[in-house]
Chains A and B, each alone.
Chain A
Amino acid sequence: MQLKVRADLGQLHRIREFVTESAEALGAAPTSFDDLRIAVDEAVTNILTHGYGGPGDVELELTADGSDLVVRLRDRAPSFDPRLAPPADLRPPGERDKPGGLGVHLMKSMMDKIVHRSIDSGNELTMTKCGVIGDARPSIGQEDD
């Protein structure tokens, strides 16, 4: 399942819907949908705000690898490896002006593996959610969206 889009922040909702539809079509457990949506939303938000600094081309692909669900994101923004971002600043409000690193922290929390590599004039981010495809049948009438 692949989506190529000239993305801006206004399309995050559509991108999350694509993630849900694709995960469902691939037979992923419905309990994984929220985690997948969050990881992809945060990754695309990072690409747009930190990579392009505005709208830009994003390719999103979801595939099954055995019982694992693999999400692959490609962009043409300057190289940025989210795994190398500083750790999340989770201190209480009074101790900081604004929190940082929350998005990457969420991506790491929701996915089992995150791999970044530089490709021709851009980035490829591969995120894997392990063991979510298998006995679970595609759901009918999911809980939201």
Chain B
Amino acid sequence: MSEDLKISTSREEGEKAVVVMRLNGSLDANTQSALEAKAKEAVDSGAEYLLLDMSGVDYLGSAGMRGIHAITNLLSPDDTSMRSDRLKVINPSPAAAKIFKTLGFDSFIDIHGNIDEAIAAL
């Protein structure tokens, strides 16, 4: 685990098993594994949907995107669709949004402005 990235997790009340993970700090090659471990913990505890609040991400690199990709596979291992239905990103910082766009991840991972909007889209 790295002090460079803080991850807080909360479960949303409702019909669906939704877990929100709030990321604060840098998501790079050093912290990618911490994110994946937290996501696996949530999935192992029954989460079917993960919402990643990335408003506090001050740095996002390709390793972080590989981590996010790994989480989509974790949530939907047999899914061959063009979109990730079980992972949503909330309010990414400008630095994070730029990387999503540059690497084309915004074309298959939904990005929402807030939690309510993301939950309504599940």
Contact = CB atoms under 8 A, between A and B. Distances in A.
Contact of A9 (B29, B59, B104, B107): B29
Interface in B1-45: 2, 4, 26, 28-30
Given A34-B95, A97-B73, A102-B66, A13 B61 contact: no
A105 B102 CA distance: 9
Contact of A12 (B29, B65, B79, B81): B29
Interface string B75-96: 0100111111000000000010
Interface stretch (A38-46, A66-74, A115-123, A131-139): A38-46
B99 interface: yes
Given A9-B30, A42-B61, A94 B103 contact: no
Nearest to B87: A93
Nearest to A92: B108
For the side of the interface on A, what is the size category?
20 to 34
Contact of A93 (B29, B99, B108): B108
Q: Most A CB atoms within 10 A — which of B62, B66, B103?
A: B62
A99 interface: yes
Contacts of A16: 26, 59
Contacts of B28: 9, 12-13, 41, 45
Interface of B: 2, 4, 26, 28-30, 58-59, 61-63, 65-66, 69-70, 72-73, 76, 79-84, 95, 98-99, 102-104, 107-108
Interface of A: 9-10, 12-13, 16, 34, 37-38, 41-42, 45, 48-49, 88, 90, 92-95, 97-99, 102-103, 105-106, 109, 144-145
